[in-house]
Amino acid sequence: MEYRRRTYRELVKGKGMVSFPVSLKDSDLLISVDSESFSRELKEKSLSVLSGIRSDLENYIVGDEEFQWTLIPHQLLPGAPRVARLMAVAALRAGVGPMAAVAGAFAELVGRGLHSDIQEIIVENGGDIYFKTRHPIITGIFAGESPLSGRVGLRFSPRMNGCGVCTSSATVGPSLSLGCTDAAIVVSHNAALADAVASTLGNLVHREKDITPALEKVLEIRGIQGAVVILGDKLGALGDVELVPL
């Protein structure tokens, strides 16, 4: 796999954390753990957990190809694995296809798969984050060519433990967006849901006047704690989010 420097990874800051990459096929994760929990064995287990999740989803899609391509909520076949169920439930709440939740689902499942071995963890997967920490963390917002990109971030206290922070963008990255946002960020204790709803939020915003109604709409979805939109030099935020300058 060709390596691409992920500049947004420099925008995630946790106190006293050791970071290491974990890659498999097109999954490219950066995992950060507290220094006391870090070990070579943890790196090996991280890859094993990721491999198991990928295998479960790939094997399921062989028998349910529509799951991978549909842009609307999808009815699962009997016996679907945990990762597919997590994605499908998130997609149903958000009104999008299940693959809109894949990065967040992988981040959370890898993080939870390592909980027994660590005290603190941050898993970043393509700009989508799952974290469980004892200290506050700050995640910068990468918003492409927006003048606000890298200049504003979100601060999370330990009370937000086991939380997902996911981003959709029409101007950054390969993911499909039907809107025009430079960054649509959603916070939830369910990272798959945050990922799916970030897609919904991004799809709803085409111009400045869409920002407030779109934020209000996604905050009505059960399980969403907060959301942020960046569109050019405009920023909107709603819910339980703490914006900080960088």
What is the pLDDT tens value at each position of the chain, 246 positions in all? Answer: 233 334 444 555 566 789 999 999 999 999 999 999 999 899 999 999 999 999 999 999 999 999 999 999 999 999 999 999 999 999 999 999 999 999 999 999 999 999 887 889 999 998 899 999 888 889 999 998 999 999 999 999 887 788 999 999 988 876 767 788 999 999 999 999 999 999 999 999 999 999 999 999 999 999 999 999 999 999 999 999 999 999
Closest CA to 198 of 208, 188, 185, 189: 185
CATH of 9-245, one of 3.90.79.10, 3.40.980.10, 3.10.520.10, 3.40.50.12280: 3.10.520.10
What is the C-alpha to C-alpha distance for residues 93 and 57, in angstroms, rounded to an integer?
20
Q: What is the per-residue DSSP string for 134-169?
A: SS-EEEE---TT-TTTTTEEEEE-GGG-SEEEEEE-
Closest CA to 130 of 49, 59, 221, 239: 49
Model pTM score: 0.92
pLDDT at 12: 57
What is the C-alpha to C-alpha distance for residues 241 and 156, in angstroms, rounded to an integer?
8
pLDDT at 22: 96
pLDDT at 179: 80
In terms of phi and psi (left: phi > 0; alpha: psi -120 to 50; beta: otherwise), the region of 11 is alpha
